[in-house]
Structures are given as structure tokens and as C-alpha cells.
Amino acid sequence: MTYPYHLDFNPYPSSPTPTEKDAKILGGKRHKEAKAAILECIKELNRKVEGKTAENGDFRVISVVQDVGSGKTHLALHIKSLKGRHNVECSYVDLSTISPKSVTGIYDAMLKGFDNEFFVQLRTKFLNYLRENAEQGDNSARKALDYTFVNKLTGMTIKEKTEDIISGKQSVSLENLTAFLVHKFNYHESILIKNIISNSFDEVKNLETLIGMLSSISKLTHRFLGKVLVFEIDELDGNKDSVEFIKGVINAHLPASVLLLISTPSGYLEIQNTNPSVFDRLEKANYKIDLAGSNSKDELAEIVTEYIKHADKNNKFNPEEQQELGEKIQVLYDEFTEFRNVRSVINILYQAMEKAMQSDSKKIDEAVIDEAIRQSYPGLRVRGSIMNIPISDFLTIRRNTGNNEKEIKNAVKSLTVFAQEMGAIQKLEKQNLLLDAVYQDNFGSKVGLAVIADELGIPDLEQISDISKSAVVDKLVILTNRKIQTPYNATVVNMDKSKVVDLIYFNNKYNSKKITEEDNERIDLLAKTLSII
């Protein structure tokens, strides 16, 4: 069995929070603009530090702010996934996972925020640097490599000795390594190198040491790998320890580094209240990225289609299917606040993809979306729906009909016929073309019904007023989905989207003879709401 659109796998991530694998795909205009800004910052910094020692440092600050579920974390992890193409290394840290937010915890998280091969590369580069020094006659380097007279007698070269250390067959002399480092590196750099060589990192207990170690990572990365560093700090808020850490990093101007800070508007406000000086520094960031609009319906539609296009290796996801899926997402966005962020929409589409595959559906249609919503959001209902309309029918009607005046008129006519069948009114012959129905209510009054919807334009309201003033009817009811001036002696009932959809849904069931007994009470309420009975 295959997934919809001829896909071999579900293109949507199942994790409630982004992973690095998921984040390789980035859709949406706002996210792509933000990505371009971040990459431009990295590119500019690379140009600035190229060919020089990163001592005094060139340092950049980028802030990314927007609500939960707007794709901030996804963006950060996407940037991290691009490191190989942009001469950069990244450490991603989610502050919300660190408790307590002590210096020790933050440093440990930042080390773990790098990919595993990062420190392997640094270790290899440094050991080869040690080898080069030893080969050039530096005796302290030879001792650090534990290259002895016996090694020389057996024919082992310094290069072979180094390769054995790199592969783990042999080890350096940490005592002699210390003697080598003291003449070429500062205190914190020496500690870091020994930590990297031994693959065992010392515990950091104060902010000064933490800053020293981060500065050393930046310098050594630039010196031995020729790359700049991006420290991505997610879920930044007003926590005192977090803010003090950020203040220390910004004040230190870490060499050849970018500090990318991710926060929500409320978290940003907390920082302002907790530490105005840090807030001022963030306000002066080199790049201030606000992802406002990243949760718009057009953006969400583009993001969800991007996942399928990325997985569609045979180019079978055609423009018509892309537009159709985008329209479904836009209806979900318009009608359900639950689906107004990237995270929730991706989650429901993952579920819909699975449902579609199980039912062998060739596309994500309204039925599989309905089933996915019922499973993931069992309490979700169409707000304002009197008819208790299923979400699948709601999506179909909203996407395909909109405010078609002819369809609304037909539905109103069917409702008056049904009201007569139920004995609530007595239909009369219609004598005025502007009226859609004429009937006698249970009080004996002659009622005229006129529908004014906006697709075919508004009839002449003066003529409508004339009907209300004349003796043609005793009462005039106008059903409309737009603002109009109320004619004399008329009742205007404004129909919102939910009432229009309820009308169409009723009409579909009525014409297909699928009205059930339990529908009667809802239909009666719908007719009363529209002042028909």
C-alpha cells in the first residue's frame, strides 16, 4: 500500500516537536526570508574573519521572536542542518529542558548541542597539529604524543603514532600534553583541548569559566576547522540565570560566533522586566527576525505542500492537487483556531496521511481529515453549527460553495417546504419575483421571505422597501450575509458562515432524502434562528 499522491512514505513528521531530520524541509515565505537573513549574517561573518586570527572576535546577535507553534525551533534546526554548506558549526540548546538552569547545566547542554562528529573533527585536527609540531622537531610535542625512542627504533613514524592515537589504539601523555599547551594556548583553551583529546569534559561551576570555555570553542573551531560558530538558544525567557548567561555571552563578544536567540513575545517581555540592560542589547541585535505572518493561512498552505513536494520524487503531485490541499488547509485555518499554527497543522496532516494510506485513498480528502480530527481532537466541533455538521461535510461545503446566492436561495426554499411538511407554516403562491418564498405562519400572518447574498449582487432595496410598506405581505423577513439598511417594517436576519453552511448541509440531506428523526429538532431550531418559523 502506498501513501496519497503516490508517495512511498508519510512526508509529515510525527514528533510533536521538530527533530533535526524533520527540519531539513523548510516551507513558507516568512521562514525562507528568515533563513536568508540568518545565512546572510553567517556569510558576512565568514568574510570578516577569513584569513585572520579570531582573537578579539567578530560577534553577531540574531533574535527570532514569535508565538508558540510558529516554526521558530524548526527554523533553528533547519539552519543547523545546513552547516556543511555554509562553513559553520551549530550548537542547539533548548533552555526549557534544563532544570535548574545552572551554569553547569547550561554548559553541559551546549556541549551536547553540537553534533557528535564536531569534537571528533576538532580532536583529529589538533592531533595532526601536534604531529606537525613533532615532525618539525618540537620535543614537547613528541612527548605529548608519547613518541619514544623505542617507537623510533621499531620504525614507527610520528605520523603512524598519531594515527594510532586518532583511532584509539594508543593515547597521548596528558602530563606532557599540558607542558606543550602552556606555551601555545591560554588557560581555558588548554583545558578544552585536554577535554577534547580525552573525551571527558570538566564541570564548569561559574559564569566566568563558562564564558572562557565557550570563547575557547569558538577560537579553536575557527583556527582548526576554519569555521564560525552559531550558538542557538531556544525558549529564552525572563529566567534570571538564563538572562545572566546571555548577558555574559553578549558582553564577551565570543570570537567568530553568532548568538541566535529564540523567544516568544511573552518571553521577550519577561526579559525586559527582568533585566532591561539585556533587553536593550537584544533590541540592538544585528538581525531582528519577527516571524509574524508565519502562521497565516497562505503560509501554512505553502508549508504543508512543501513537505509533499520534497517527498514526491516522481513529480506526480500536480498543481491541481496542491491547490486543492491548500484550500482545505485554509478552511481549517478560517474555521478552527486549533489549526492556526504550523505545529498543529503538521500533526493533523500526519494523522490524515496515515488514515488515507490505510483506506487506500489517493489523496488527502475531507473524509480522512475528518477521521484524523476525530481521533486527535475528539471534542472538536464546528463552532456555531446548529445542525451538528460533520467536519468533513463542513470542509467540503466551505471549500466548494462559499456564498453562492443561488444555492442559498434553493436551501431556504427547501427549508420552507420542510417547515410546511412539519406543519409549522403553510406555503402560499409567490406573486413577487423579489420574494423567494411566501407562507402563512401559525399566527395567520402572511410572511414574505427574501434572500440577499453577495455573489449575484443586491436587489434594489427600494423595491424591497415597497414590499414591506405594501399590503402584499404582513411581515417581511430578509436573510442576508452582508450589512444592509433595514427596510421599513422588515426583519433582517444576518447569516454568518456557519448558518450558510448549515443551510447547505440541510439542503443536501433533504434532497438526498437522508433527513433522520434526530435531525428534526435541529432543523426546527435552524428555521427559528432564521425567523422562518
Single-letter amino acid code for the residue at 517: E
Cell of 110: 551546549
Residues 196/198/204/208 CA torsion (nearest 10 deg): -50
Tens digits of residue pLDDT in 435-474: 889 999 988 899 999 888 765 455 566 777 777 777 788 8
pLDDT value at residue 303: 92
As a whole number, mean pLDDT of residues 116-139 equals 95
pLDDT value at residue 454: 63
Give the number of other Cβ atoms within 10 Å of residue 524's Cβ. Answer: 17
Give every CB contact of residue 223 below 8 A, 6+ residues apart in sequence: 53, 54
Cell of 121: 573533527
pLDDT for 177 beyond 70: yes
pLDDT value at residue 187: 96
As a whole number, mean pLDDT of residues 39-50 equals 92
Q: What is the mean pLDDT of the chain?
A: 90
Name the pLDDT band for 286 (thresholds 50, 70, 90). Answer: very high
Burial, 248: exposed, middle or buried (Cβ in 10 Å; 0-12, 13-18, 19+)? middle
Cβ contact 54:222 at 8 Å: yes
pLDDT for 318 beyond 60: yes
pLDDT value at residue 68: 86
pLDDT for 496 beyond 90: no
Q: Are strands 287-290 and 490-494 parallel, antiparallel or unpaired?
A: unpaired
Q: How many helices (H) and strands (E) does the chain have?
A: 22, 10
Name the pLDDT band for 311 (thresholds 50, 70, 90). Answer: very high
pLDDT for 380 beyond 90: no
Q: For residue 40, what are the CA distances in angstroms to 88, 165, 470, 524?
A: 12, 39, 72, 62
pLDDT value at residue 292: 84
Report percent pLDDT > 90 for the chain: 64
Q: pLDDT higher for 231 or 314?
A: 231
Cβ contact 246:277 at 8 Å: no
Give the number of other Cβ atoms within 10 Å of residue 105's Cβ. Answer: 16
Name the pLDDT band for 396 (thresholds 50, 70, 90). Answer: confident
List b or e across 56-89, with b for residues whose CB sees 16 or more CB atoms inside 10 angstroms.
ebbbbbbbbbbeebbbbbbbbbbbbbbbeebebb
Q: Which of the 8 DSSP states describes residue 448?
A: E
Interatomic CA distance for residues 13 and 95, integer angstroms: 23
Q: Which of 91-100, 246-255, 450-459 has the lowest mean pLDDT?
A: 450-459
First to last CA, the chain: 52
Q: Which of the 8 DSSP states describes residue 487?
A: P
pLDDT for 238 beyond 60: yes
Give the number of other Cβ atoms within 10 Å of residue 443's Cβ. Answer: 8
Domain 405-529's class?
Answer: alpha beta
pLDDT value at residue 16: 79
- SS3 of 341, please? coil
Interatomic CA distance for residues 257 and 509, integer angstroms: 64
pLDDT value at residue 506: 95
Give the number of other Cβ atoms within 10 Å of residue 529's Cβ. Answer: 14
In 269-336, DSSP assigns E strands to: 287-290
**Helices 366-376/391-400 angle, 10° precision:** 140
Q: Are strands 475-480 and 490-494 parallel, antiparallel or unpaired?
A: parallel
As a whole number, mean pLDDT of residues 387-393 equals 87
pLDDT value at residue 267: 94
DSSP β-bridge partners for residue 257: 59, 229
Every domain of the chain with CATH number 3.40.50.300 lies at 30-114+208-290
Name the pLDDT band for 144 (thresholds 50, 70, 90). Answer: very high
pLDDT value at residue 459: 58
CA proximity to 7, closest of 214, 227, 265, 314? 314
Interatomic CA distance for residues 515 and 413, integer angstroms: 16
Domain 30-114+208-290's class?
Answer: alpha beta
Cβ contact 177:194 at 8 Å: yes
Q: For residue 12, what are the CA distances in angstroms to 15, 169, 219?
A: 9, 43, 39
Cβ contact 18:341 at 8 Å: no
Q: Which of 6-10, 120-124, 440-444 has the lowest mean pLDDT?
A: 440-444
CA proximity to 225, closest of 54, 58, 106, 57? 54
As a whole number, mean pLDDT of residues 276-296 equals 91
Q: Which of 43-47, 64-68, 142-146, 431-435 has the lowest mean pLDDT?
A: 431-435
As a whole number, mean pLDDT of residues 181-205 equals 94
Cβ contact 515:529 at 8 Å: no
pLDDT for 503 beyond 50: yes
pLDDT value at residue 235: 95
Q: pLDDT higher for 419 or 432?
A: 419
| Helical ranges in 63-115 per DSSP H | 72-81, 103-112
Give every CB contact of residue 67 below 8 A, 6+ residues apart in sequence: 264, 265, 295, 341
- SS3 of 234, please? strand
Give the containing element (helix H, strand E) for 378.
none
Every domain of the chain with CATH number 3.40.1350 lies at 405-529
Name the pLDDT band for 321 (thresholds 50, 70, 90). Answer: very high
